[in-house]
Structure 1
Amino acid sequence: MADSKHNPTYLSDRFPGPDPYAPLSDLPPLEVTSADFADGDQLPAEQCGSDAVSPQLSWTPGPEGTKTYAVTCFDPDAPTASGYWHWAVFNIPASVTSLPGNAGDESLQNLPDGAVSLRGDSRSYGYYGANPPAGHGPHRYIYAVHAVGEELDLDDHQTPTVLGFNLNFKATARGLLWGWTENS
């Protein structure tokens, strides 16, 4: 795969937050899709709120040498200085190129063997649905899949930010899929 130039489709004056991927290493692209929504669509109700289920996600295989994948969901529009992590899973085996809907349930039983889930900003190890504060405007939810050439040596007490730091230096490809929602 050739190097890509960071060309986000998720930037718009509608959203108050920054481009969280702008300062990161440019990586070859993975194509990420979902049976639940298309890139840039409003998220379906099933992916929103505190009782939400994680969306189905699929991605193209990483480059030769891929050993694991990491999947994250991040809201850069949260009214904080650091955004809001909704989901972070890593060490997904390279043989896995999709996660079924609700793979991020609180029991973590729907994740592939070997995958490690981290607590997001909701303090849950499972997926926490899109849930912007009422009246704050639309928020983006960026689902990222990273191909990694090794198993990451992190335990489940680390933060998604620490995972992201490691992925910046160890990922070999990245794909993004995003949706949005708003609570009036």
Structure 2
Amino acid sequence: MGDAVVGSDGVTRCAWAESSDEMRAYHDTEWGRPVRDERGLFERLTLEAFQSGLSWAIVLRKRPRFREVFAGFDAEVVAAYDTARVAALLSDVGIIRNRAKVEATIANARAIRALDGGFADLVWSFAPEPRPRPLSMTDVPAVTPESTALAAGLKRKGFRFVGPTTAYAMMQAVGMVDDHLAGCQVRTDPV
């Protein structure tokens, strides 16, 4: 991931977005834009956890199936998944079949339910002050004090498979931080 590059469409954007049309669309229309609804936040948290150790391109390709098997990321539905449902998920080649990540998703849905509508408020309470966009990808941290605090805060509430790096990736995805490079022409809505 280098500095911003000019794509085949003439738009300057973060270099990682130029790896495929799917990545470009995600970069241009979703990444870094504020997400404040429970389902959207649950989806991003889940996908970032599944991405751990893998490339984002793999997760993005499997995203439609993740949405199907996790009921559109409806925490109420996912919280009720049982061992038979876990077994079915682990045999589904359309998703990333990792028992720890599947079970964490169910545990996280239960933790969201226990918050009784306060998941978005909890997540966004860790948003840092806005800062200038990074000049290059080397200026983009993998972990920040805020992502470390968010991960700890979520764990205290019963969330699993969310460390500081996963928390920071979610913060980027949901617009809590804007890590589009300074030269990137894609603009996000203000937080």
Normalised TM-score (structure 1):
0.29
Q: Which has the higher strand share?
A: 1
**Greater RCO between the two (CA within 8 Å, min separation 6)?**
2
